[in-house]
Amino acid sequence: MDLARPSPQVIKLIANILKTGLLRIRCAGWRGDAELCAIEADHIHNLPHFLVSPTGPLLEFYRSVERKSYLEALRRHRGAKADSREFEALWLELAEHLGRTGTGEQEDR
């Protein structure tokens, strides 16, 4: 029995985070900033796993560990264009969805 699954809104938000991250990798690559490419890739590299095998713990790991690590890496990065503004609205919306159910999962009906 399927006890829970991520809401369509959470899946869409994760897809948008991936899209934003990939676009940021491409922009950093065109600027020749390999260090920022690595920071951006490290931030999103586990999110495809969540889309294939979604669980609350995976999403919580992203929110509590990987996102914070990403923000710290951006702060340390030498490039002035390294900021997280493009992700802020997505993270806020994700937190709002997760706040409603705790894990972003919806009950079977």
State the Cα–Cα distance between residues 98 and 42, nearest whole angstrom: 23
What pLDDT does 101 receive?
Answer: 47
Amino acid identity for residue 106 in this structure: Q
pLDDT in the model for residue 6? 79
So where are the chain's domains? 7-100
Rounded-to-integer distance, Cα 30 and Cα 1, Å: 47
Say what the pLDDT of residue 7 is: 86
Low-confidence ranges of the chain (pLDDT < 50): 1-3, 101-109
pLDDT at 56: 83
